Amino acid sequence: MKLSLSLLSLLLLCVLGATNALNIGSFNIQVLGKTKMADNRVVDTIIEILSRYDIVLVQEVRDVTDDTVDNLLSILNKRNKSKNYKTAVSTRLGRSDSKEQYVYFYDPEVIKLMGAYQYEDKNKVFERPPYAVRVRPTTAGGNGKDFFIIACHIQPKNAAVEMDALVDVHEHFIATAGNAALKKTITDRTIFLGDFNADCDYMTKKKWTEVRLRTSDKFTWLIGDKTRTTVADRDCAYDRVVVTKGLAVSKGVGISAVPYNFIEKMKMSSDNAKLVSDHFPVDITVDFKKTAGAGGSTKNDKPVKSPPKKDGTLTKTNKPVKSPSKKRSLDDDFLDDDDDMDVDYDDDDEEELPPRKKRSVKVSA
C-alpha cells in the first residue's frame, strides 16, 4: 500500500511537472509547399513533429497561396480532436521571387497570443526580416508571464551580419514597445530562434567576433557550436536558440534547447528524413520550476559561453549558466508585466489580430 502510494505521488509529480513545462519548437521545413504537401508520409511526419509543441515556429513555407498553411493546420487539428491549434503567419518575405513565410502554430489552451510583429527592415539588412510574437503561457507555472520570441531564417552568406543585426531588432522592439511592462518583457524575456546558418561554411572564428548577439553578455546561447542540427550527417549547428539574460538566470525558470533528432526518435531512415527537411527541429523546454541550466543539456548541447576570447578563439567548452547568488522569490523573478496591453493588439481579441496599423499579420481564427 505504502509503495503504491509513493508510486502514485511519483506519477502525479511527473504529470504536474509536465504541465509546468512549456514546449517551444523551431523547425526549418525545407521548401515547404504544395509538392511536399502531396506526399502523405512526409505530411504525417511533419504533423507528428508539430504536435509535440505548445508553440512552434515553422520556417521556409513557400507557397504563393495559403493552402499549405491552411492544410497543415487542418490536419494538425484533426489528429487530436481535443486540440485546436491556431497560427500567426508572416507576410511573404525575401528579396528574390522565391518568398518564404514564417508561421507560428500554437495551442491556445496553453499559449495566449498577445501580439505579432513584423520587423520593418528599413536598412534592408535581412533577406527575410524577423517576425516576432509576444505570448503568454496560461498553464499553472507560467501564468501571466509573457515571452517575446524573435524568429529569423538567416541568409547563409550573410549569417554574421544578420545575426549581429538581431541585436538592433531587439533594441528596436524595446524602443517601440507601447508601455513599460512590454519593454521589460522584451528586455528580459526574449527568445531568439531560427535557422541562423550559424556554422560550417557560413561562419568563421573571426566572423563570430563581429556578432554582438554572441559577444554581448546580455545574451545566452543555448545550442552549442558542436551540436548537429542538420539531417545530413555533418556537425553543423545551423539552428540556434539565444535568450536574454533575464530568462537564462531567472531562478524560477529553467530553459534549455536541444535538436530533435527525428531520424533516431521516430526511427526513420535518413533518406526518408531528408524528404521531410534538411534540418532537425529544435526543442526548447521552459521549465517553470527548475533553475536555469539545470535541464536538458547533453555533452554537446550546453549553453555557449559568450563572448569569444580576446584572441578571437571561441570558447567551446560551455558551462551551464549559473543562477544568480542573490536569493529571489519566484514573484520577484516574474515581477509581473501586469495586464497592460501592448500598442498593437487588444488582449481579448486574438481573432482580431489581422491587419491593424499597417502591420500585415495574419492570424487564423
By CB under 6 A, tell whether 317 contacts ligand NAG.
no
By CB under 6 A, tell whether 328 contacts ligand NAG.
no
Contact with ligand NAG (CB under 6 A): which of 4, 40, 65, 82? 82
**Are 139 and 17 contacting, i.e. CB atoms less than 8 angstroms apart?**
no
Q: Which is nearer to ligand NAG, 83 or 226 (CB)?
A: 83
Whether residue 100 lies in the annotated active site: yes
By CB under 6 A, tell whether 80 contacts ligand NAG.
yes
Residues 133-162 that bind ligand NAG (CB under 6 A): none
Which residue stretch of 2-10, 75-83, 111-119, 219-227 sits at the interface with ligand NAG (rule: CB under 6 A)? Answer: 75-83
Q: Which is nearer to ligand NAG, 80 or 270 (CB)?
A: 80
What span, in angstroms and rounded, lies between the C-alpha atoms of 235 and 227?
6
Whether residue 351 lies in the annotated active site: no
By CB under 6 A, tell whether 15 contacts ligand NAG.
no
By CB under 6 A, tell whether 83 contacts ligand NAG.
yes
Residue in 100, 127, 162, 350 annotated catalytic: 100
Which residue stretch of 78-86, 137-145, 216-224, 229-237 sits at the interface with ligand NAG (rule: CB under 6 A)? Answer: 78-86
Q: Which is nearer to ligand NAG, 137 or 293 (CB)?
A: 137
> Which residue has its beta carbon closest to ligand NAG?
80
Residue in 60, 127, 153, 162 annotated catalytic: 153
Which residue stretch of 59-67, 80-88, 178-186, 325-333 sits at the interface with ligand NAG (rule: CB under 6 A)? Answer: 80-88
Q: Which is nearer to ligand NAG, 43 or 314 (CB)?
A: 43
Q: Which is nearer to ligand NAG, 83 or 92 (CB)?
A: 83
Binding-site ranges for ligand NAG (CB under 6 A): 80, 82-83
Active site residues: 100, 153
